[in-house]
Structure 1
Amino acid sequence: MQKIWLASYPPGVPAEIDVAGLGSLVDLFEDGVARHGPKTAFVSGATGVGLSYTQLDTLSRQVAAYFQSVLKLPRGSRVALMMPNLLQYPVCLFGLLRAGYVVVNVNPMYTARELEHQLKDAGAEAMIVVDLFAHTLARVIANTGVRHVVVTGVADLMPPIKRQLGNFLARHVKRVVPPYQLEGKVDFGAMLRAGAAAQFQRVAMGPQDLAFLQYTGGTTGGAKGAMLSHGNVMANVAQGRAWIDPFLELDEPLVSITAIPLYHVFALGTCLGFFGLGGTNVLVADPRNLAAFVKILSRYRFNSMPAVNTLFNGLINEPGFAALDFSGLRFALGGGAAVQRPVAERWQQLTGAPLLEGYGLTECSPTVTCTPLDQTAFSGSIGLPMPSTEVSIRDDEGQELPTGQAGELCVRGPQVMQGYWRRPDETARVMTADGFLRTGDVAVMDERGFLRIVDRLKDMILVSGFNVYPNEIEEVVMMHPDVLEVAAVGKPSDTTGEAVRLFVVKKTPTLDEAALRAHCREHLTAYKRPQQIDFIDSLPKSNVGKILRRELRERA
């Protein structure tokens, strides 16, 4: 496909990035520390406590030294991180990357079943977990290869008095830390002290070295680890930098609000991009508390805010939001799910800044396309392909379609993953012979190169920007002894974009909704649980016995 989109690039945005000069995330980190040492790199939105680039260098070095010299984990070991947006996350993230390890990001809200699968599949040997969720790990650790555990309290990087008080309140007053037993676990502070006394050996990492196993259902369902190399992620950072550079005023402090969880690849990518610019990432651990979130926003003159549509929608309807100072806001970026026109238009009316839309996948580190920053009104388009990114619209036979015709969106570029971890069959299924990733999404491109998503080939349900795959939901529900058959489909939701709706055929007449919901609470993360359950006599099926989800969606 001809790159007709290049003619629509804003002035100053290049067609290509320097792929040969990408380097590694370790290079990005060291360069950031050298150039921006005293500036604040991360700040806790809830407490206002921050870490400078220099402090982050010291603390992450201690993490690296501990894993290298005390635990003696070899380079390339997989280490899991399980925590919300706390200051400990970037400290651990950069420490592990500097030591040459592969970071396995874990959703803290996972059930024991989900956590066990991911740890076993990744072959994780060590884990850093916040105490709020250590009880989940305690239930499954014996079934995994995890041999070393570091547990951190929510306040561990606060000043001494605040640290002691915060952890005491969480554990003994508010009692939000469930009891757990993890034999041989090490506290975060003890790890830092041991690391400070140990030797750190710098590890030279290259673009081809693996940086993350980022778990996703992929384009074919079933949890798989997308292998993202240092070069993949650095390419996406460089692409994002090329996209926004002509529009940034680098002589002013750069502040980005990071409310999306950093274990999500969308937040991770934008966070790393701002780090490379010497900006400050304001970490919001619980954006669902909108009143507290608005108070956090009131303290900062922020320039950027990546988030999902549901969060933007919640903010614009929250009292006090419209009165905030938006004079520094250059753009807000919606990703993870489609941005809705009423939300975008109301956002711009209140803030004076556009709500841009991007499109990406975990497999693409993640960004594929983005709305140009010179756009002043919402269009419903996912924008243009990023620099050094090729897209191709193809039919069912893999033949490229002309402009204006809808087909599967396929992507090729330096940000595309190396493949799925230990899944060569799944990798082959999504990669074409000429090196394009099949996204599973149906798109159409107009004559200016702007793309629009019009449908999904896959049955994936998108809940608040998170992929929910019917096969997983159905497998869990079928674990209930009183269920005969089940199908999961998506239904529109005003709060989450989509929600899960179940159609269940009973095996035992006494099965009721309450029992099934209790079963789902035990085995599924909250966003995967059904919002609606319908009991029906039979499921619609094709002549070969395949459940016809399309009919159920139409019924829904």
Structure 2
Amino acid sequence: MTHGSTLAGFIRTAMRRWPDREALVGGGVRWTYAELGAEANRFARYFRNCGLKRGDAVALLSGNTSAVIAATQAVQILGLRYTPLHPMGSEDDHAFVIEDAGITTLMVDADAHAVRGRTLKARMGLKRVLTFGPSDFGDDLVAGAASFDGSDVPIEAQPEDITSLNYTGGTTGRPKGVVHRHRSTVAMMTQELAFWEWPQDVRFLVATPLSHAAGAMMTPTLVKGGTFVFLKGFDPAEYLATIARERITATFMVPTMLYALLDYPGIADADLSSLEMLIYGAAPASPARLEQAIKVFGPILCQLYGQSEAPQTISYLAKADHLIAGRLGSCGLPVPCNQVRLITPDGRDADQDEPGEICFRGPTIMEGYWSRPEESAAAFRDGWLRTGDIARRDADGYLHIVDRSKDMIITGGFNVYPREIEDCLAQHPAVAMCAVVGVPDDKWGEAVKAVVVLKSGAMVSGEELVTAVRTAKGVHYAPKIIEFVESLPHTAVGKLDRKAIRAMSWQGQERLVG
């Protein structure tokens, strides 16, 4: 088996090819490839000195830092099984993941997560807690690694090793661990390199958690000899200043970040001249806001579509596609090497423009859910991954996601997909953001409810918004309830938290439109 088929092999090749180039910028450091590689090797030696060996299970609770990046590369070198803990997760969720994944070693940011780290150590009886920085509940792995040699550590990872065990959000029931081996992760990275529209000189900026989609942008950036720039969190002013200062050529945003930038007063004066690629994804984006984004950023937008079970590269909407009428509501064409079917509830292939569940087959697919054979079998019916996303395929083969199957609203016997209503509402000039959910209703079974955030200083009546939807989509799509709010709940990675929105609605907090 060759090391070239592991993530560590790809990264090691980059370190050797461009030792003097700038590899990593953020958190006060500017590391060359040689310096990043040396840091990763020091962490790898420290981990081995702690007794960690290939296949051992480690978890991470931290934000975006340079030390975390080096440590996670060391994890790949040694072939450890890596599980990130959601930085915003609850104690119970963290405890569940640690137990379910069989975690023996927990790495914790001593500054940001000391209380949780101390609690989890006591609650879970963890064998080993390593902290980024000094603490009273674990060993300082930064100080420990600093004493070791930075020369290359032999790569122990093998292609069949589990590289990551990432847990889904758990919107229904307990989270599930998604198993990816090096083969599927390398396939994802290779598809990113081959089919995304990268700049010649890659200077990539991220501000979302590296434990999620943003982390998958790092290895391709390094393979292309680029510079990876990270922020600890998202602030519009800081983000725009970083683009200008670091001459950023590529970036990744979730839609809520994109909307925040579009609504930020300083966007008009921002220097965006270096940007050549703006990737967005991880949640649906409003076509109306995408039109606005193209006017602000230029024709540089491209969309990724994937999910934890088949990350990042199920399909891709290219820059040029964003300029074609009717394409902004699409998530693009399936990436070559992938197979996509749309299957109706009665098990047949959907006709053109008929909604069906996206079913996927390809090299990036997960192996299954950790220790959940029944749920794994349900996800893979007839050899196809059932994504739970409902889409239609247009005459040109482009996929248009209608909604998640579980988000579908049945009102008065009609199937209604919230995404279509949200896209309609987002076209109104007063609407900044919205979410549509189904709420219990004695007459309709479920009633369509829209929760709306208005743009600063804008005013519109609920009746006007209902009329706009009714005119565009028909009476059964028109919301029965409109609620205006100051903000919508989101997960830590920027997705609408529909579970929280539904919970509020089912408690009878809706406001009827007269």
Which of 196, 205, 209 lines up with 1:261 in the alignment?
209
What amino acid is aligned across from residue 131 of structure 2 in structure 1?
Answer: V
Counting only pairs closer than 5 Å after superposition, residues 324-335 of structure 1 correspond to structure 2 as 324-335=270-281
1:133 to 113, 126, 132: 113
Give the aligned partner of residue 206 of structure 1.
158
Question: Is 1:72 matched with 2:51?
Answer: yes
Deviation at 1:257, TM superposition (A): 0.9
Once the two structures are superposed, residues 354-380 of structure 1 have per-residue CA deviations (whole angstroms, 9 ceiling, x without a partner) of: 322221101113321110233342621
How far, CA to CA, are the matches of 1:385 and 1:526 in structure 2? Answer: 23
Q: Does 1:118 align with 2:64?
A: no
Where does 1:540-551 land on structure 2 (aligned, <5 Å)? none
Moved more, 88-97 or 337-346: 337-346
* Equivalent residues in 2 for 1:66-105, closer than 5 Å: 66-68=46-48, 70-105=49-84
1:106 to 1:536, Cα distance in 2 relative to 1, 3 A: closer
Q: Does 1:239 align with 2:187?
A: no
Tell me the CA shift for residue 291 of structure 1: 2.2
Name the CA distance, whole Å, in 2 between partners of 1:530 and 1:227. Answer: 27
Question: CA-to-partner distance for each residue in 1:250-295, whole Å, 9 max, x for gaps?
Answer: 3xx311111121011x1122222212211111101110x2222222
Out of 5, 9, 20, which is 1:27 matched to?
A: 9
- Structure 2: how far apart are the matches of 1:535 and 1:394? 31
Question: Could you tell me whether the CA contact under 8 Å between 1:65 and 1:200 is conserved in 2?
Answer: no
Residues 274 and 23 (structure 1), Cα distance of their counterparts in 2 relative to 1, 3 Å cut: same
8 Å CA contact retained: 1:216, 1:362: yes
Once residues 494 and 91 of structure 1 are traced to their aligned partners in structure 2, the CA distance between those partners, rounded to angstroms, is: 40
1:363–1:417 contact (8 Å) kept in structure 2? yes
Query: What is the deviation of 1:142?
Result: 2.8
Query: Matches of 1:553 and 1:119 in 2, distance apart?
Result: 41
> Equivalent residue for 1:484?
none
CA distance in 2, matches of 1:64, 1:457: 43
| Structure 2 equivalent of residue 455 of structure 1 | 403
Aligned equivalent of 2:314, options 333, 348, 368: 368
The aligned counterpart of 1:216 is: 168
Change (3 A) 1:38 1:554: farther
Deviations 1:400-452 (A, max 9, x none): 2233321111011000001111111111110122x211001111111211000
Classify 1:260/1:121 alpha carbon distance in 2 versus 1 (closer, same or farther; 3 Å). Answer: same
Cα distance between partner residues in 2 of 1:332 and 1:211: 28
Taking the aligned partners of 1:278 and 1:384, their CA distance within structure 2 comes to 28
Q: What is residue 14 of structure 1 aligned with on the other side? A: none
Distance 1:214 1:357 in 2: 22
Whether contact under 8 Å (2:46, 2:141) holds in the other structure is no
Identical-pair percentage: 27
Match of 1:430 in 2: 379
Matched, 1:304 2:232: no
What does the per-residue CA deviation read over 1:477-516, in whole Å, with 9 as the maximum and x for residues that have no partner?
xxxxxxxxxx9x99645499xxxxxxxxxxxxxxxxxxxx
2:20 maps to 38
Shift of 1:310: 0.7
Unaligned runs of 5+ in 2: 409-417, 420-436, 438-445, 456-488
C-alpha contact (below 8 Å) 1:207/1:232 kept by paired residues: no
CA distance in 2, matches of 1:490, 1:390: 35
Q: Is the 8 A contact 2:54 2:156 kept in 1?
A: no
Call closer, same or farther: CA 1:535–1:349 in 2, change over 3 Å: closer
Counterpart amino acid of residue 27 in structure 1: G
Shift of 1:236: 0.9
Q: Residue 373 and residue 42 in structure 1: after superposition, are their counterparts in 2 closer, same or farther (change >3 A)?
A: same
User: Aligned with 2:20: secondary structure?
Assistant: coil
Match of 1:405 in 2: 354
Aligned alpha-carbon RMSD (Å): 3.4
8 Å Cα contact 2:54/2:157 also seen in 1: no
User: What SS is found at the alignment partner of 2:131?
Assistant: strand
CA distance in 1 between counterparts of 2:495 and 2:199 reads 40
> Which residue is equivalent to 1:277?
224
Matched residues in 1 for 2:226 and 2:144: separation?
Answer: 28
Against the structure 1 CA distance between its residues 110 and 217, is the aligned structure 2 distance closer, same or farther, given a 3 Å change threshold? closer
Does the aligned pair in 2 maintain the 1:356–1:371 contact within 8 Å? Answer: yes
Partner of 2:335: 386
SS of residue in 2 equivalent to 1:375 = helix
1:322 to 256, 268, 282: 268
Residues 61, 108 of structure 2: 8 Å contact kept: yes
Task: Give the one of 139, 144, 156 matched to 1:186.
Answer: 139
Q: Residue 217 of structure 2 aligns to which amino acid in structure 1? A: T
Contact preservation (8 Å) 2:21, 2:33: yes
Q: Structure 1: which amino acid aligns with 2:33?
A: Y
Which amino acid counterpart does residue 290 of structure 2 have in structure 1?
Answer: A
The alpha-carbon deviation at position 52 of structure 1 amounts to 1.3
C-alpha displacement at 1:194, in angstroms?
4.3
Cα distance change, pair 219–401 in 1 and its aligned pair in 2 (3 A): farther
- Aligned counterparts of 1:333 and 1:405: Cα–Cα separation in 2: 28
C-alpha contact 2:242 2:248 (8 A) present in aligned 1: no
TM norm structure 2: 0.77
The offset of 1:206, in angstroms, is 3.2
Instruction: Quote the Cα distance in structure 2 between the aligned partners of 1:495 and 1:66.
Output: 52
The amino acid of 1:319's aligned partner reads P
Gaps of 5+ in 1: 1-19, 157-179, 463-469, 471-486, 497-519, 540-551
Query: Which one has more relative contact order, counting CA pairs under 8 Å at least 6 apart?
Result: 1
- Partner Cα separation in structure 1 for residue 454 and residue 174 of structure 2: 25
Q: Is the 8 A contact 2:167 2:176 kept in 1?
A: yes
Which residue of structure 1 lines up, in the alignment, with residue 393 of structure 2? 445
1:340 is aligned to 286
Q: Residue 294 of structure 1: which of 240, 253, 256 is its match? A: 240
Contact 1:22–1:234 (Cα < 8 Å) also in 2: no
Say if 2:187 and 2:363, in contact at 8 Å, map to a contact too.
yes
Residue 22 to residue 200, structure 1, CA distance change in 2 (3 Å): closer
Contact 1:228 1:365 in 2 (8 A): no
Change (3 A) 1:417 1:491: farther
Q: Measure the CA separation in 1 of the matches of 2:338 and 2:214.
A: 20
Deviation at 1:330, TM superposition (A): 1.8
2:116 partner amino acid: T
Tell whether the 8 Å contact from 2:199 to 2:250 is kept in structure 1 after alignment.
no
**Distance in 1 (alpha carbons) for counterparts of 2:39 and 2:118:** 27
Structure 1 position 187, deviation (Å): 1.4
Taking structure 1 as reference, are residues 396 and 248 closer, same or farther at Cα in structure 2, changes over 3 Å only?
closer
TM-score with structure 1 setting the length: 0.71
5 Å-filtered alignment, 1:485-524, equals 492=451, 494=453
One-letter amino acid of the counterpart of residue 44, structure 2: A
Deviation at 1:221, TM superposition (A): 4.8
Q: Distance in 1 between matches of 2:207 and 2:389?
A: 26
Residue 52 of structure 1 is aligned with which of 16, 32, 36?
32
